[in-house]
Amino acid sequence: MGNSNKVSTVRFLALHAVSLSLLLAGMSSFVRLWRPILLAGTMITGVVLTEVIARPVGRSRPPAGIMMLGADATSSFPSGHVVGASNFLLVGAYLVFSRSSSRTAVIGAFGAAALGLTVEAASRVYLGYHWFTDTVASACLSIALLVVVILLDVSRGEPPRPERTA
Protein backbone atom coordinates (compact mmCIF):
# COMPACT_ATOMS: atom_id res chain seq x y z
CA MET A 1 0.00 0.00 0.00
CA GLY A 2 1.48 3.33 -1.05
CA ASN A 3 1.83 6.31 1.26
CA SER A 4 -0.99 8.21 -0.46
CA ASN A 5 -3.35 5.24 -0.05
CA LYS A 6 -2.46 5.04 3.65
CA VAL A 7 -3.23 8.75 4.10
CA SER A 8 -6.54 8.33 2.28
CA THR A 9 -7.47 5.28 4.35
CA VAL A 10 -6.55 7.01 7.63
CA ARG A 11 -8.60 10.07 6.65
CA PHE A 12 -11.56 7.87 5.69
CA LEU A 13 -11.42 5.93 8.97
CA ALA A 14 -10.90 9.06 11.07
CA LEU A 15 -13.95 10.79 9.63
CA HIS A 16 -16.04 7.68 10.22
CA ALA A 17 -14.77 7.44 13.79
CA VAL A 18 -15.70 11.07 14.41
CA SER A 19 -19.14 10.50 12.90
CA LEU A 20 -19.73 7.40 15.00
CA SER A 21 -18.56 9.19 18.14
CA LEU A 22 -20.91 12.08 17.48
CA LEU A 23 -23.77 9.69 16.83
CA LEU A 24 -23.13 7.84 20.10
CA ALA A 25 -22.81 11.11 22.01
CA GLY A 26 -26.03 12.31 20.46
CA MET A 27 -27.78 9.08 21.36
CA SER A 28 -26.85 9.49 25.00
CA SER A 29 -27.74 13.17 25.29
CA PHE A 30 -30.75 13.59 22.99
CA VAL A 31 -34.14 12.02 23.41
CA ARG A 32 -34.68 12.09 19.66
CA LEU A 33 -32.11 10.46 17.42
CA TRP A 34 -33.10 12.21 14.20
CA ARG A 35 -30.76 15.17 14.43
CA PRO A 36 -27.58 13.31 15.51
CA ILE A 37 -28.27 10.81 12.73
CA LEU A 38 -28.51 13.73 10.27
CA LEU A 39 -25.07 14.97 11.34
CA ALA A 40 -23.47 11.53 11.19
CA GLY A 41 -25.14 10.81 7.85
CA THR A 42 -23.92 14.09 6.42
CA MET A 43 -20.36 13.43 7.58
CA ILE A 44 -20.37 9.96 6.03
CA THR A 45 -22.02 11.25 2.84
CA GLY A 46 -19.32 13.92 2.55
CA VAL A 47 -16.56 11.31 2.78
CA VAL A 48 -18.24 9.07 0.23
CA LEU A 49 -18.92 11.93 -2.21
CA THR A 50 -15.33 13.14 -1.87
CA GLU A 51 -13.96 9.70 -2.71
CA VAL A 52 -16.47 9.12 -5.54
CA ILE A 53 -15.80 12.52 -7.16
CA ALA A 54 -12.01 12.44 -6.72
CA ARG A 55 -11.44 9.25 -8.70
CA PRO A 56 -12.98 10.23 -12.06
CA VAL A 57 -11.88 13.89 -11.84
CA GLY A 58 -8.28 12.97 -10.96
CA ARG A 59 -7.11 16.56 -10.65
CA SER A 60 -3.45 16.78 -9.76
CA ARG A 61 -2.29 18.64 -6.70
CA PRO A 62 -0.03 21.70 -6.71
CA PRO A 63 3.68 20.93 -7.20
CA ALA A 64 5.16 18.75 -4.43
CA GLY A 65 7.85 21.36 -3.83
CA ILE A 66 5.36 23.77 -2.26
CA MET A 67 3.68 21.18 -0.01
CA MET A 68 4.81 22.07 3.49
CA LEU A 69 4.22 18.71 5.20
CA GLY A 70 5.50 16.31 2.57
CA ALA A 71 4.30 15.26 -0.85
CA ASP A 72 0.82 13.84 -1.37
CA ALA A 73 0.04 12.11 -4.65
CA THR A 74 -3.71 11.68 -4.15
CA SER A 75 -6.27 13.67 -6.12
CA SER A 76 -6.65 17.33 -5.27
CA PHE A 77 -10.35 17.76 -6.05
CA PRO A 78 -12.40 17.93 -3.90
CA SER A 79 -10.71 18.66 -0.60
CA GLY A 80 -11.77 16.05 1.93
CA HIS A 81 -10.54 18.22 4.79
CA VAL A 82 -12.68 21.16 3.70
CA VAL A 83 -15.74 18.98 3.07
CA GLY A 84 -15.40 17.26 6.45
CA ALA A 85 -14.80 20.43 8.45
CA SER A 86 -17.48 22.35 6.57
CA ASN A 87 -20.07 19.61 7.01
CA PHE A 88 -19.38 19.41 10.72
CA LEU A 89 -19.44 23.19 11.24
CA LEU A 90 -22.36 24.10 8.97
CA VAL A 91 -24.64 21.18 9.76
CA GLY A 92 -23.67 21.36 13.44
CA ALA A 93 -24.55 25.05 13.56
CA TYR A 94 -27.88 24.36 11.87
CA LEU A 95 -28.78 21.45 14.13
CA VAL A 96 -27.83 23.22 17.35
CA PHE A 97 -29.22 26.66 16.62
CA SER A 98 -32.02 26.22 14.05
CA ARG A 99 -34.67 25.97 16.73
CA SER A 100 -33.30 28.86 18.74
CA SER A 101 -35.56 31.83 19.24
CA SER A 102 -32.54 34.13 19.29
CA ARG A 103 -31.73 35.50 15.86
CA THR A 104 -28.40 36.72 17.21
CA ALA A 105 -27.43 33.18 18.27
CA VAL A 106 -28.30 31.77 14.83
CA ILE A 107 -26.36 34.48 13.01
CA GLY A 108 -23.42 34.06 15.39
CA ALA A 109 -23.39 30.28 14.94
CA PHE A 110 -23.41 30.45 11.15
CA GLY A 111 -20.87 33.28 11.22
CA ALA A 112 -18.54 31.13 13.36
CA ALA A 113 -19.12 28.16 11.01
CA ALA A 114 -18.31 30.32 7.98
CA LEU A 115 -15.15 31.58 9.69
CA GLY A 116 -14.08 28.01 10.49
CA LEU A 117 -14.78 26.96 6.90
CA THR A 118 -12.70 29.86 5.60
CA VAL A 119 -9.78 29.08 7.93
CA GLU A 120 -9.79 25.40 6.91
CA ALA A 121 -9.91 26.24 3.19
CA ALA A 122 -7.18 28.86 3.53
CA SER A 123 -4.97 26.45 5.47
CA ARG A 124 -5.23 23.80 2.73
CA VAL A 125 -4.18 26.35 0.11
CA TYR A 126 -1.47 27.84 2.35
CA LEU A 127 0.01 24.40 3.09
CA GLY A 128 0.20 23.81 -0.66
CA TYR A 129 -2.08 20.77 -0.86
CA HIS A 130 -4.98 22.26 -2.82
CA TRP A 131 -5.74 24.83 -5.43
CA PHE A 132 -8.06 27.64 -4.34
CA THR A 133 -10.80 26.37 -6.66
CA ASP A 134 -10.65 22.92 -5.01
CA THR A 135 -11.48 24.42 -1.64
CA VAL A 136 -14.25 26.65 -3.02
CA ALA A 137 -15.90 23.72 -4.79
CA SER A 138 -15.57 21.64 -1.62
CA ALA A 139 -17.30 24.34 0.41
CA CYS A 140 -20.06 24.46 -2.22
CA LEU A 141 -20.49 20.69 -1.88
CA SER A 142 -20.90 21.13 1.88
CA ILE A 143 -23.44 23.92 1.38
CA ALA A 144 -25.41 21.64 -0.95
CA LEU A 145 -25.38 18.93 1.73
CA LEU A 146 -26.53 21.52 4.29
CA VAL A 147 -29.51 22.35 2.04
CA VAL A 148 -30.39 18.64 1.88
CA VAL A 149 -30.17 18.42 5.69
CA ILE A 150 -32.42 21.46 6.11
CA LEU A 151 -34.98 20.04 3.67
CA LEU A 152 -34.96 16.66 5.41
CA ASP A 153 -35.25 18.24 8.85
CA VAL A 154 -38.04 20.61 7.84
CA SER A 155 -39.93 17.85 6.03
CA ARG A 156 -40.32 16.00 9.32
CA GLY A 157 -42.67 18.78 10.40
CA GLU A 158 -41.37 18.90 13.94
CA PRO A 159 -42.70 22.03 15.68
CA PRO A 160 -40.21 24.47 17.15
CA ARG A 161 -39.42 24.13 20.84
CA PRO A 162 -41.45 26.37 23.12
CA GLU A 163 -39.68 29.53 24.23
CA ARG A 164 -38.19 29.50 27.69
CA THR A 165 -39.31 32.05 30.21
CA ALA A 166 -36.91 33.58 32.67
pLDDT band at residue 91 using 50, 70 and 90 as cut-offs: very high
Domain of 68 in residue numbering reads as 3-155
Number of domains in the chain: 1
Instruction: Evaluate whether residue 163 is within a structural domain.
Output: no
Write the secondary structure of 4-56 as one string of H (helix), E (strand) and C (coil). HHHHHHHHHHHHHHHHHHHHHHHHHHCCCCHHHHHHHHHHHHHHHHHHHHHHH
Instruction: Evaluate whether residue 161 is within a structural domain.
Output: no
| 113-148 confidence digits (pLDDT tens) | 999 999 999 988 888 878 888 899 999 999 999 999
Instruction: Evaluate whether residue 115 is within a structural domain.
Output: yes
| 11-62 confidence digits (pLDDT tens) | 666 776 677 666 666 555 554 677 888 888 898 898 888 888 888 887 777 7
Instruction: Evaluate whether residue 50 is within a structural domain.
Output: yes
Instruction: Evaluate whether residue 66 is within a structural domain.
Output: yes
Instruction: Evaluate whether residue 164 is within a structural domain.
Output: no
pLDDT band at residue 109 using 50, 70 and 90 as cut-offs: very high
Instruction: Evaluate whether residue 162 is within a structural domain.
Output: no
The answer to whether the predicted template modeling score (pTM) of the entire model surpasses 0.95 is no
Q: From 156, 81, 89, select the one nearest 97 (Cα to Cα).
A: 89
> What is the pLDDT averaged over residues 79-108?
89
Instruction: Evaluate whether residue 166 is within a structural domain.
Output: no
